[in-house]
A and B are shown apart, each in its own frame.
Chain A
Amino acid sequence: MNQKELKELIEFLIDKDISEFELERGDVKVRIKRGADQQVAPIIQHIPVSNHPAPAAHPGPVAVSSTPLPAHPPATPAPPAAEEGLHIVKSPIVGTFYESPSPGSPPFVKAGDTIETGQVLCIIEAMKLMNEIESDISGELVKRLVNNSQPVEYGQPLFAIRPR
């Protein structure tokens, strides 16, 4: 991934109001986490094909501060960051996000709902395999972070839940 692609990725994440993002493709791993001040701190590391963890001293964070970031805040406010106590449910697979069991039926959950541990939150589909994603925590659903039928990456945040 070059600087231009990285910049496009960051702009996309800001545009879509995604606070945390991880991508693993070949031997490149990208992890981006946006803090409460809307700044972006990308980390790219080249991981060995053998899947052994990369040494911590490897290339290190790539500064992209030279790239001016859009000054305007996203249209919808970013979910409060982890330090404000929200639990983020992430996608365990690559696929397409569905908010309901079948087209036209009501969504599994919506903002404001009380969520129990083990409750189904959504379906991620890949290769005609419908993957029901359970909540691993009880609490109040604060926000859905992706749109219905949107493609999602491995580890992409799906829901923010305020633990009970």
Chain B
Amino acid sequence: MEQELLVPELLAPLVRNTIFSGHIHHYLQVESTNLLAKAAALGASEAASEGEVFIAEEQTAGRGRGSHQWYSEREAGIYCSVVLRPQIKAADILWLSLIAAVALQDAMKEVTGLSPDIRWPNDLLINDKKFCGILTEVHTESDRVHHAIVGIGINVNHRALPADLESTATSLHLETGKEWSRLQLTASLLKALDREYRALLRAVNSPVPSSTARFESILKRVEARSSYARGKHVHVDENGGFSGITDGLDTRGFLRVRTEQGLRMAISGSVRPLARRTDAAGD
């Protein structure tokens, strides 16, 4: 199958009526789409940059969490960053991390029929290997969000991955043997992201006084769609590291982990599965 480039002329008509339709920028090669989005967000006045999308066919320095890189082979994957300008408190922006995962999962399901798993907070996995990652970068002024950039990398038609990634990462092609339309996947992703973002803003601005009640539907959906939310034996690489059995999300969206020393929360660490131990306490 001849792959189309992800140019605005093809993509924009597919995402009409979303906040992204009029703001798609396409590049053949960039350092990192998140960097382009950040420059646009910092340079723009007020909400001018809301909904801008930066898509590249190839990244030379695709970024992940910490010092991680995102392997970005030319025209094989989707490397896309969007700029959002929600008028919300910094404390509420964390939900963006979870709704992005839900949107990404919906889009992958819609186009491929597969049901990828969500590994808290927002990695997408097929057969326990990661094929989508999200890196969100937020800029806050005092207690308010100035802008948020959601960077998304999806391994689509990669025929092979570098040796150091093979055991933990995969692509849609490697798992299904098929070539997938990046255009359809990108369009479906932007539509799902638009839908989830609007729902988040409604929840944030809802007159319901209890924040637990406002965000309950997000929590429930993440829990229902992720095998990692409950009953999974995991290690969390955070604050010295700890291991235990996952026990749902708390009211802020953090992952509860029952350890032998008591209940702990995964807040910012990487969550990785552990082989289930037969002697695990409370299991």
B residues near A102, Cβ cutoff 8 Å: 66-67
Interface of A is mostly: loop
Count of inter-chain pairs, beta carbons less than 8 A: 94
Are the C-beta atoms of B267 and A126 separated by less than 8 Å?
Answer: yes
Are the C-beta atoms of A95 and B210 separated by less than 8 Å?
Answer: no
Query: Size class of B's contact patch?
Result: 35 or more
- Given A118-B141, A127-B253, also A154-B67 (CB < 8 A): no
Contacting A at CB under 8 A, from B232-272, are 238-239, 252-254, 267-269
Q: Does B162 contact A (CB under 8 A)?
A: no
Chain A residue at smallest Cβ distance from B144: A92
Residue in contact with B97 in the complex, picked from A51, A94, A128, CB distance below 8 Å:
A128
Are the C-beta atoms of B142 and A136 separated by less than 8 Å?
Answer: yes
Interface segment, B75-83, B88-96, B169-177, B196-204?
B88-96
Residues of A in contact (CB 8 Å), total: 27
Contacting B at CB under 8 A, from A34-78, are 49-52
Interface segment, B5-13, B132-140, B178-186?
B132-140
Residue in contact with A131 in the complex, picked from B138, B142, B211, CB distance below 8 Å:
B138
Q: Does A146 contact B (CB under 8 A)?
A: no
- Shortest distance from the beta carbon of B92 to any chain A beta carbon, whole Å: 9
User: Chain A residues in contact with chain B, CB under 8 A?
Assistant: 49-52, 92-96, 102-104, 118, 120, 125-134, 136, 151, 154
Which 5 residue pairs spanning A and B have beta carbons closest together?
Answer: A92-B90, A127-B97, A127-B121, A96-B268, A129-B136
User: Chain B residues in contact with chain A, CB under 8 A?
Assistant: 65-67, 89-91, 93-94, 96-98, 120-122, 134-143, 146, 209-212, 238-239, 252-254, 267-269
